[in-house]
Structure 1
Amino acid sequence: MSQNHYQVLGVAPSAAAADIKRAYRRLVVRYHPDKHGGDARYEDEFKAVALAYRILGDPGRRATYDFQLQQAARRAEEARRQQQQRPVSQHVYGVPMPPPAPLRTRPPAGSRERHYQRIPQQRARFNARDWGLTLLFLLGIGLFSFAVKVTMDRVSANRNYDDGLRAYANGNFAAAYAFLEETLHFRPDYAPALRRHGELERLFEHDPAAARADFRAALRQPQPRRVKAQVLYHLGRCETALGRPADADLRYSQALQQDSTLSAAHLARGRGRLLDLNNAALALTDLSTGLAQRRRAAAPTPWSFVQLRGVALAALGRYAEARTDYFNTLQANPKDGRTHFLLGRLAAHTGDSTAACEFYHRAVNLGYDYARAAEQECR
């Protein structure tokens, strides 16, 4: 029999790791081919020593090798025991003999002695474990189908949303509206699509109620503060269009809590406080803040809000400042009949009836019909 690794190193199977390492170093020096002029016998011994140490020097490999030795020893012992227990008569020159024929003590039983019983068929029944596995399988199929549907809906929604944004940017609002409708069909809670859809509902479909529903749905989804401020601003515009000035003022205030630099919210809240809530002082603060923010951002001046600030100043009795705002507006748009009318009212408040009548006349000539009644009073 070939030696095992312990025998190659000359150590016991219970030897410690240090003893194994020490034996390996000794044998490596003894059998190294350089010391024996390249003799093949010593080279084979050297390789055997190296292989033995690679197995026994590693704790994991040694444990596996010990287990294999134990299994081999057990199999050898079992074979030896079976060899000893086998009758001698069954071996002829080492060749096993066939087993002897069974000894019969009587003839086989006849047909009358044989009793046949019908084995009843048993119907297969589901036990609790079978039902549990079946339900688990069906649940797995359902979850897989749901995951596939959610994934496909999300992919379709994203594709339609991208197409809608491109159409929106190109000014094709009808196509953008259709693409966003498809997006919300697949993902009803997709906040960016709800926001764009609401903008189209308000600005191009002229349906502030439907737009308000979209913006409210968008607010139920987590969004960055600046985006949320934009949504609240648009929601305030919808409330204004629906004749709900107090709700609109609340939405504008909420938008400014999210983003105090949103000039559009300042201007819209100022207009509502002036024209709907009759609070000229608060309106003046909002309008001035919004216009200052626009100026700092180097954005175009919204002259209609400069005109509204003049109205707020006039309502507070600050006529000189109001006149400055009116003339600045008139300089930007000389044919604005409403500005001429407001200058006429300002002249009337200051007691200059001649100038007032002249401004009313100019307003009527520019097509501002609201000044016609005031012009007739001058005659």
Structure 2
Amino acid sequence: MSQNHYQILGVSTTATAREIKLAYKRLAVQYHPDKHGGNTLYEDLFKAVAAAYHILGEPGRRAQYDHQLQIAARRAEEARRQQQYRAQAQHLYGVPMPPPAPLRTRRPAGSAERHYRTIPRQRQKFTRRDYWLTAMFLLGLLLFVLSVKVTMDHVTAVSNYDDGIEAYTRREWSTAHSFFTETLHFKPKHTAALQRRAELEQLIYHDYVAAAQDYRAAIVEIESSRRRAALLSRLGQCHAALQHPDSAQQAFRQALALDSTVVRALLARGEAELFQRRRYASAIRDFSAGLRHTRSSVLLARLMLYRGLAHYKHQDYGAARADYWQVLTLTPRSGQVYFLLGRVAQKEGALPDACEFFRRAVVQGYQFAEDARNETCGRRQLPVTPVQPARN
């Protein structure tokens, strides 16, 4: 090793990364060729400083370089020790030849001079200690095999899960589902794989029975109350899709008992109250609670839309109209919201406003508004009046 990079940078072998970086910056500025008129001497010094920092500035290369320095130091010390304690008979450029083998004084003994005695064979007996040693050896071998299997299963499960996540991000749903299934084959209690596979089964394949089974298996293994609440909310959605309202409501109650800010649980429970049980007041309470705990524009729009429907069903048309106008601020091209505003205006007896809202809904591509427009407005052209949003 012709040059010591620590000496070039002027730091010790125990210098920190910050000290090495500061030394490099100082020497790079000092030896930069542009400051010395392109002198080749400073150019060589600048290259040597850059090469030294290339080795010492990266932890992996520095560790390898330190290891090489230690090996070189040990070799030098060994050479010095051998030179210091060289045997007296050793020559400078080699050692003398070994002494010749001693001469035999007689020929080897013949067969007549050799005496043989048969050693009786003894029967080997196992003692208690031997049995214990054998049992311990077999137990250790079994534990070793089990540990290897557990380790290999864990490594294979982690590898399959990572591949499944990559396929999940690429929207290759079938491939991701296969990888998650392989992960659970090697590690059945892999909670992340259970959750991901359940999401695919629920949202992509609409297999709510399999999704509910995976959600239940993941909930048992999760200790975090917030994560359990989120999965219970998903489980409630699966029960609701399977037309099991009682099970869905129980899952939503458990989720909200663990975490009262789970917006999806509030949304799903409010939907069940609105569309299935027709309990509009409780649905309004759930939607209002969800609005207090979310900032997502998608969830905000959905919560306010459903709360407006609940107000409409509760015959509170002013509150319904206010919610619909709030939804329009988030989704201004929603033909469905214009259609719902037309229904509110129709209930209030404002036929020109209703016709205008139905017309806007048709313009935005909401085809259901065409029949309502023909039914309410007929073929006669009502005067188009500017519709002003309701003020809260």
TM-score of the pair, normalised by structure 1: 0.59
Unaligned runs of 5+ in 2: 1-121, 379-392
Indicate which of 288, 307, 310 corresponds to 2:308: 310
What's the secondary structure of 2:221's corresponding residue?
Answer: coil
Larger Rg computed on CA atoms:
1
Identity %: 43
> For residue 247 of structure 2, what is the aligned residue in structure 1?
247
Shift in alpha-carbon separation, 1:331–1:219, aligned structure 2, 3 A: closer
> For residue 289 of structure 1, what is the aligned residue in structure 2?
289
> For residue 201 of structure 1, what is the aligned residue in structure 2?
201
Post-superposition offset of 1:204? 2.5
CA–CA separation in structure 2 for the residues paired with 1:331 and 1:161: 41
What's the secondary structure of 2:293's corresponding residue?
Answer: helix
5 Å-filtered alignment, 1:128-277, equals 138-169=138-169, 171-277=171-277
State the one-letter code of the partner of 1:242. L
Question: 1:245-303 deviations in whole A, cap 9, x for unaligned?
Answer: 332222222112122222222122212211222111111111111112114xx766531
CA–CA separation in structure 2 for the residues paired with 1:286 and 1:312: 11
> For residue 324 of structure 1, what is the aligned residue in structure 2?
322
Alpha-carbon contact 1:212-1:235 (below 8 Å) kept? yes
CA–CA separation in structure 1 for the residues paired with 2:359 and 2:170: 43
CA–CA separation in structure 2 for the residues paired with 1:366 and 1:276: 29
Post-superposition offset of 1:360? 3.2
> For residue 350 of structure 1, what is the aligned residue in structure 2?
348
What's the secondary structure of 1:302's corresponding residue?
Answer: helix
Post-superposition offset of 1:237? 2.0
Question: 1:16-70 deviations in whole A, cap 9, x for unaligned?
Answer: xxxxxxxxxxxxxxxxxxxxxxxxxxxxxxxxxxxxxxxxxxxxxxxxxxxxxxx
State the one-letter code of the partner of 2:343. R
Alpha-carbon contact 1:215-1:231 (below 8 Å) kept? yes
State the one-letter code of the partner of 2:316. R
CA–CA separation in structure 1 for the residues paired with 2:331 and 2:191: 40
> For residue 22 of structure 1, what is the aligned residue in structure 2?
none
Post-superposition offset of 1:240? 2.4
Unaligned runs of 5+ in 1: 1-121
State the one-letter code of the partner of 1:310. G
TM-score of the pair, normalised by structure 2: 0.57
> For residue 338 of structure 2, what is the aligned residue in structure 1?
340
Shift in alpha-carbon separation, 1:281–1:356, aligned structure 2, 3 A: same
What's the secondary structure of 1:220's corresponding residue?
Answer: helix
Shift in alpha-carbon separation, 1:201–1:224, aligned structure 2, 3 A: same
CA–CA separation in structure 2 for the residues paired with 1:245 and 1:367: 33
Question: 1:317-370 deviations in whole A, cap 9, x for unaligned?
Answer: 322121111122234333322212211221222222343344334434444343
CA–CA separation in structure 1 for the residues paired with 2:265 and 2:191: 21
Alpha-carbon contact 1:274-1:283 (below 8 Å) kept? yes
State the one-letter code of the partner of 2:251. R
5 Å-filtered alignment, 1:80-119, equals none
RMSD of aligned Cα (Å): 3.1
CA–CA separation in structure 1 for the residues paired with 2:297 and 2:262: 13
> For residue 371 of structure 1, what is the aligned residue in structure 2?
369
Alpha-carbon contact 1:294-1:300 (below 8 Å) kept? no
Shift in alpha-carbon separation, 1:301–1:140, aligned structure 2, 3 A: closer
Post-superposition offset of 1:123? 10
